[in-house]
């Protein structure tokens, strides 16, 4: 690559060699798809940790809003219940030849930009260059269409890298069914997705799963374990091999404004790529979930805190939801990359094609469920949380979550309030809060350095950590700021 940037210094022989057609030159190993997969490393114990994973443990489902009409509501981004499952067909032999030679070289050049310019100085080439195959509703294996190699950009390279690591998931039980997305964790078929995708939002514990890869391979799959508390699940493809694991990034190092690319199967349209930026970090949302564990004993969520839980909507009504008995509070990355029904469980990646989040929900401007669609407010579970939960599910069949041991509400809603935060109403004897010196009347304003504005924020941050984790709590008592270190208990699920 360096020779191509300094043509005046080359010898005539070198110049003639460089002018050979691109498909006659050798492809640098560091930029081939296989090399990308190799660099990701083996995934999932007993193999080494997830590819590119950080060492730290911290890390269209449309929901009918229950607040007054016209107010924003949250909606799970997938699966797309009622949408037909689209199976990608194997490519014709000539399709592979179309993206070859000079086009492959152009994509490789763009890939180099992804590793360099796009990773330094923010969102280079933010605009999407993904072009769906013109004669097919579902783009399928030949989803990266390059008609003009001279104008290929970084987004093309990101899509080329990420699409082999994203799958379309069809879940069904009896007459109910829907589609969602997932990301590949290991070459032998571990896949990370959402609990609501594989359980049809708690409607079934034994779904029939069919998974289609970006190159058209179809696998049966079984559920390894679910984590309803953070709406994550791991499934295992049957007799899979040679898959491309996704590379993880450290989501705790993101900045607002960083480039994002969402990849998944909205409305059953597999291999869909959309772009945007990180709109907000450490955003907390609360969603009603039929798959969530009973909230009895879940003291942090005993007070709704002014954020009415939202229910999952089931597309065109072919899926009958069970009655939600609980809700979950999760900390998410907010993005304006278009996320729609069916994107749930898919990848949100950074400017280098590394996983920064698992797409989980969207917001709408209100109205009926038939009006669901992206308005540029989408949410993804941070990769640091997803990584921890996935490893625990694969190792132990389930993941753990922290418990503070306190009944909390919104400080801003209290009479005579002067400060927003999570108001501790009562602590549980022997619990983490009590052992850390917290007591009723304290207002928690920070948790591990993250601002807390209400009880949903506090619950989401506590649940993001594993049981037994230590956390620093900043709180106000009698108008004075104090800090405490707590060792979290374990939420019973």
Active centre residues (catalytic): 196, 231, 344
Dihedrals φ, ψ of 196, to 5°? Answer: -65, -20
Do 52 and 40 touch, CB atoms closer than 8 A? yes
Give the C-alpha separation, 349 to 323, whole Å. 34
Residue 248: what are its φ and ψ, rounded to 5°? -90, 145
- Outline where DSSP puts E strands in 116-271: 166-173, 176-184, 190-193, 208-212, 218-227, 232-237, 259-264
CA geometry: angle 400, 290, 203, nearest 5 deg: 110
Q: What is the DSSP letter of 247?
A: P
Q: Per-residue DSSP letters for 271-334?
A: SEEEEEEEEEEEEEEEEEETTSPP-TT-GGGSS-TT---BPPEETTTTS-PPPP-EEEEEEEEE
Cα separation, 126 vs 109, in Å, equals 17
Residues in the chain: 493
CA distance 133 to 144: 8
- Smallest Cα–Cα separation from 177: which of 211, 207, 222, 137? 207
Tokens read off for 201: 């939002």
């Amino acid at each position: 690559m360096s020779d191509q940037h300094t043509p005046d210094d080359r010898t005539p022989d070198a110049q003639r060699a460089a002018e050979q057609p691109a498909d006659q030159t050798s492809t640098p190993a560091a930029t081939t798809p296989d090399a990308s997969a190799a660099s990701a490393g083996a995934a999932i114990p007993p193999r080494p940790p997830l590819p590119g994973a950080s060492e730290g443990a911290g890390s269209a489902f449309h929901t009918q809003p229950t607040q007054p009409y016209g107010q924003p509501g949250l909606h799970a981004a997938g699966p797309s219940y009622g949408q037909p499952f689209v199976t990608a067909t194997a490519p014709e032999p000539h399709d592979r030849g179309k993206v070859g030679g000079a086009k492959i070289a152009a994509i490789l050049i763009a890939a180099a930009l992804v590793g360099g310019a796009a990773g330094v100085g923010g969102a280079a080439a933010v605009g999407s260059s993904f072009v769906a195959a013109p004669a097919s509703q579902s783009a399928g294996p030949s989803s990266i269409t390059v008609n003009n190699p001279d104008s290929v950009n970084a987004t093309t390279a990101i899509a080329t890298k990420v699409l082999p690591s994203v799958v379309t998931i069809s879940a069904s039980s009896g007459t109910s069914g829907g589609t969602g997305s997932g990301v590949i964790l290991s070459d032998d078929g571990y896949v990370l997705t959402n609990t609501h995708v594989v359980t049809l939002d708690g409607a079934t514990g034994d779904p029939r799963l069919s998974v289609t890869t970006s190159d058209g391979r179809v696998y049966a799959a079984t559920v390894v374990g679910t984590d309803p508390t953070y709406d994550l699940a791991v499934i295992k493809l049957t007799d899979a091999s040679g898959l491309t694991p996704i590379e993880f990034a450290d989501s705790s190092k993101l900045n607002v404004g960083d480039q994002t690319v969402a990849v998944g199967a909205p409305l059953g349209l597999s291999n869909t790529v959309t772009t945007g930026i990180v709109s907000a970090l450490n955003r907390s949302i609360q969603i009603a979930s039929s798959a969530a564990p009973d909230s009895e004993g879940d003291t942090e969520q005993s007070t709704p805190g002014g954020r009415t839980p939202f229910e999952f909507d089931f597309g065109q009504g072919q899926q009958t939801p069970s009655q939600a008995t609980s809700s979950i509070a999760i900390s998410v990355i907010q993005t304006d990359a278009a996320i729609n029904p069916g994107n749930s469980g898919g990848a949100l990646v950074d400017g280098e094609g590394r996983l920064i989040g698992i797409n989980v929900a969207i917001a709408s401007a209100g109205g009926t469920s038939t009006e669901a669609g992206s308005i540029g407010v989408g949410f993804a579970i941070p990769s640091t949380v997803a990584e921890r939960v996935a490893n625990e599910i694969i190792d132990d069949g389930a993941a753990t979550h922290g418990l503070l041991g306190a009944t909390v509400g919104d400080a801003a809603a209290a009479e005579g309030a002067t400060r927003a935060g999570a108001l501790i109403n009562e602590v549980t004897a022997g619990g983490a809060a009590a052992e850390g010196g917290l007591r009723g009347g304290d207002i928690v304003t920070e948790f591990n350095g993250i601002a807390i504005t209400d009880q949903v924020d506090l619950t989401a941050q506590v649940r993001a950590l594993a049981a037994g984790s230590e956390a620093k709590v900043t709180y106000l008592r009698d108008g004075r700021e104090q800090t405490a270190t707590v060792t979290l208990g374990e939420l019973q699920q």
